[in-house]
Amino acid sequence: MKFLFHFGRYVNMIFALFKKPERFRMYWKEYARQMNNIGVGSLIIVAFISVFVGAVTAIQFAYQIQGSAIPMWWVGFVVRDTMILELAPTISCLLLAGKVGSNISSELGSMRVNEQIDALQIMGVNVRSYLVGPKILAAVTVIPMLVIIAAFLGVYGGLIAGKLGGYVSATEYQLGVLDEFNPHYIKLMYIKAVVFAFTLTSVAAYQGFYVKGGAIEIGEASTRAVVFSSILILAFDYLIAAALL
């Protein structure tokens, strides 16, 4: 029954996002601010981690096939498909669930505890639409862009690691990257990025928006936001792969 209560309230919050804005300009400014916070604020950490994830993938696979009949240009092939299909969308969004999700939950939780949300409601503002809607829309807009950058940098990181380690030349690596490329994988990566972005922001917003208590409860809500969104990201990762591959 507790699960049904929270699920119903979550669905009710999502439906409230589709009501007509009171002042579109106010929503647009909040949307632009959230795009900057989520996208620009997360670009460096996503790029840094993606390069090293691609590099580790390349080194580990190259080490495994050393001395075998498998040609070394397969390193580029494996790094490309692994980054596009799994590592770029999943690792990036798990990282953002911790960074962006906890920030959203803490921000809304603080507003709830300090009665700022109640003040907006008294003024006649649709608080769920104004406070939650721009965050979700901004995440769905910029997180797929971050995932695309992560995939590109991961492949490039694999190239750097392969060359520095003496495992594969740039020509061989490029041959593997270009071999039998399937555009459907890009579509799948984008779908995952959009679903994961919506999941991590909506779950975090729900946890923060309905928090009760004080500073301790805000911290607990942030923890729940990260844990629940991470679990849902992995669950949706499996469902999307099973349905679309």
What's the pLDDT at 192? 95
What's the pLDDT at 70? 81
> Position of tokens 């901004």?
138
Cα dihedral across residues 99, 105, 110, 111: positive or negative: positive
Instruction: Tell me the mean pLDDT per 10 residues along the chain, length 245.
Output: 85 83 78 89 92 93 83 89 92 92 91 85 82 92 95 93 87 88 91 95 92 86 93 94 86
In the numeric block, which tokens belong to residue 7?
A: 């699920």
What's the pLDDT at 166? 83
In the numeric block, which tokens belong to residue 171?
A: 């020509």
3-state secondary structure of 48: helix
In the numeric block, which tokens belong to residue 213?
A: 């208590």
Spatial distance between the Cα atoms of 54 and 16, rounded to a whole number of angstroms: 40
Spatial distance between the Cα atoms of 133 and 204, rounded to a whole number of angstroms: 12
Burial class (CB in 10 A: 0-12, 13-18, 19+), 41: middle
CA 152 to chain centre: 16
Spatial distance between the Cα atoms of 114 and 96, rounded to a whole number of angstroms: 26
| C-alpha closest to that of 118 among 209, 31, 206, 218 | 209
Instruction: Say if CB 148 and CB 47 are below 8 A apart.
Output: no
DSSP notation for 133-199: HHHHHHHHHHHHHHHHHHHHHHHHHHHHHHHHTTS--HHHHHHHHHTT--HHHHHHHHHHHHHHHHH
In a 13 Å sphere around the CA of 30, the CA atoms on its Cβ side amount to: 16
